[in-house]
Amino acid sequence: MSQSDHSSLLDVKFVGSIAQVGINRPQKRNAINDDLVKAIHDCFASMPDTVKAIVLYGIGDHFCAGLDLSEVSAHTVPESVMHSRGWHAAFEHIQFGRAPVIAVLHGAVVGGGLELAASAHVRVAEESSFYALPEGKRGLFVGGGGSVRITRLIGVSRMTDMMLTGRVLDAQEGHQAGISHYTVGAGQGMAKAMELAESIASNAAMTNYGVMHLLPRIADQSIHDGLATESLMAAVAQTDPATLDLLAQFLEGKKNKVKFKPQ
């Protein structure tokens, strides 16, 4: 898979078993238009089997400033629904795709950009990051999955405040709210993301699959259904040959025991 397969809107590179996917519209603060949605969809839907982790980032000064309003035109209700569903399909391939995704956040992570970030599994925020949902001040409503994913990160109440008032959160406020998992200094996001990606890529593939595909669904199930699903996933993971190999390495002293290390 080469960069040309996904147009110039994405810069795709491979470092061993890790894919780096860069959003490449810096002149537009990486705002999302229909072509970029399609490029994201096609890119994440066609990741090679050899990819074990993915780092998603924005080229230039911003991660993603959301919907490209210069390309917004009047639509009928059915057309608008299908437009939103196109975003949903693209971001589903991130959340429920082939490999865990680490998003590197910096600069604007706004509107659809925050919806995009929320579809990743781990988020690393540089100190320049800021978050907003300006749709409410522009007569719009989130349409890229934000009402589902962002509310699960920061809660309905905080998202309500951001949409009604246009409130902007800085990197630390966003971290405290639950948007990011890690915060780093300027320019340090990619290094941290690659460190995490290498660690994630070393996990048993079946365990990563369970965390990506089963864990969020278990969270949406009733307690009893969730526990039953958990037991099935635990049994599958425990009997996976890769898991047995990792357990043997631990018992032989080749894998370190859990120790606390400040982030």
CB distance 38 to 8 below 8 Å: no
Band of residue 4 on the pLDDT scale cut at 50, 70, 90:
very low
**Tally of CA atoms within 13 A in the half-sphere of 127 that contains its CB:** 5
Q: What is the mean pLDDT of residues 2-29?
A: 87
CA 79 to chain centre: 26
pLDDT tens across 176-204, in order? 999 999 999 999 999 999 999 999 999 99
pLDDT tens across 216-256, in order? 999 999 999 999 999 999 998 888 777 677 777 767 776 66
In sequence order, what E strands does 84-136 have? 101-105, 108-110, 122-126, 130-132
Q: What is the pTM of this model?
A: 0.90
Query: Which CATH number describes the domain made up of 205-251?
Result: 1.10.12
Q: What CATH class has 3-201? A: alpha beta
Residue numbers annotated as active site = 115, 135
- Indicate the DSSP class of residue 3: G
- Inform me whether the pLDDT recorded for 21 exceeds 90: yes
Q: What is the mean pLDDT of residues 35-50?
A: 96
Q: Which pLDDT score is estimated for 219?
A: 95
Q: Which of 22, 118, 131, 173 is nearest to 12 (CA)?
A: 22
Q: How far is CA 115 from CA 71, 111, 155, 186, 187, in A?
A: 19, 7, 14, 22, 23
- Inform me whether the pLDDT recorded for 108 exceeds 90: yes
Q: Which of 183, 208, 186 is nearest to 197 (CA)?
A: 208
Domain boundaries, the chain: 3-201, 205-251
Q: Backbone phi, then psi, for 202, in 5-degree steps?
A: -85, -10
Q: Which two tokens stand for residue 257?
A: 């025991």
Beta bridge partners of 13: 20
